């Protein structure tokens, strides 16, 4: 079963700073998910990526399949980016599997 | 984009009662849906995989007789928490598989008194 580790667990930064959240996993996967969870609990899927890099607005996700590592970057961070960011990988590696989640990174962006 | 709904969004019930949570894929068909739960300050954990037309597959430690899952159609899976107890209070969230990704419902917050 996949083990997913995230770092840091908590991150406080000033508005405008470049943010990096890291994720590593133990079992080779078809794709990795980055999710955002707001205080109310609702989850938004940010990215699903299987190789290389994806960009959406100020968010960038990269993955290195060989090293089993992914990063989520936020450029020009803003207080509205404050949330918990979670990476998740298929439990047994395959695309049809349920996900194993990291513990999340609690991000606070101060004005 | 693909949308998954959950109902209800919040439920408060008395200990011993049963609660049904619905997960629907609104604009796509999902042969597989997943149920997760999240206890306060903990990460999401997979409870079970719901397969349309067949029995659900439960993760180790999840009681199948307590958490009944029915996936009777390609757009609907239900999770029934039977004889709920305060320790079942949690955030329950479903996801539906589509085009090799998963789309998440908004979640159901269950409080058992």
C-beta separation of A88 from A100 below 8 A:
yes
Phi-psi region of B11 (alpha: psi -120 to 50; beta: other; left: phi over 0): beta
C-beta separation of A7 from A105 below 8 A:
yes
Count of alpha carbons within 13 angstroms of residue A107, beta-carbon side: 31
Query: Chain B contacts of A103, Cβ < 8 Å?
Result: 42-43
pLDDT per residue, tens digit, chain B (113 aa), is 678 999 999 999 999 999 999 999 999 998 899 999 999 888 899 999 988 888 899 999 999 999 999 988 899 999 999 999 999 999 999 999 877 778 889 899 999 99
Residues of B with a Cβ under 8 Å from any A Cβ are 32, 34, 36, 38, 42-46, 49, 59, 91, 93, 95, 97, 100-104, 106-107, 109
3-state helix, strand, coil in chain B (%, to 5): 5, 55, 40
Is A42 within 8 Å of B43 when comparing Cβ atoms? no
Give the Cα separation of A4 and A105 in Å (integer): 12
Is B36 within 8 Å of A98 when comparing Cβ atoms? yes
> Residue B103's closest chain A neighbor by CA?
A45
Using alpha carbons only, how large is chain A's radius of gyration in Å? Answer: 13
pLDDT tens, A47-81?
999 899 999 999 999 999 999 999 999 999 999 99
Nearest to A111 by CA among A33, A16, A21: A16
Minimum-distance CB partner of B107 among A43, A91, A98: A43
Minimum-distance CB partner of A98 among B49, B106, B107: B49
C-beta separation of B36 from B46 below 8 A:
yes
Q: Which residues pair with B58 in a beta bridge?
A: B48
């Amino acid at each position: 079963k996949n083990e997913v580790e995230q770092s840091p667990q908590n991150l406080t930064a000033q508005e405008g700073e470049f943010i990096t959240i890291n994720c590593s996993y133990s079992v080779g996967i078809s794709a990795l998910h980055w999710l955002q969870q707001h205080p109310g609990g609702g989850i938004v899927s940010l990215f699903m990526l299987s190789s290389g890099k994806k960009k959406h607005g100020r968010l960038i996700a990269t993955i290195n399949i060989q090293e089993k590592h992914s990063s989520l970057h936020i450029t020009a961070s803003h207080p509205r980016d404050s949330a918990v960011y979670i990476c998740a990988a298929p439990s047994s590696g395959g695309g049809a599997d349920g996900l194993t989640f990291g513990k999340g990174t609690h991000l606070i962006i101060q004005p | 984009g693909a949308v998954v709904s959950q109902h209800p969004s919040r439920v408060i019930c008395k200990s011993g009662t049963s609660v049904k949570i619905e997960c629907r894929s609104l604009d796509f068909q999902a042969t597989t849906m997943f149920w997760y739960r999240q206890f306060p300050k903990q990460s999401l954990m997979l409870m079970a995989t719901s397969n349309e037309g067949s029995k659900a597959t439960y993760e180790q430690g999840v009681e199948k007789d307590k958490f009944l899952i029915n996936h009777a159609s390609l757009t609907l899976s239900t999770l029934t928490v039977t004889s709920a107890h305060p320790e079942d209070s949690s955030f329950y969230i479903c996801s539906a598989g589509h085009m090799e990704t998963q789309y998440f419902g908004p979640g159901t917050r269950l409080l058992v008194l």
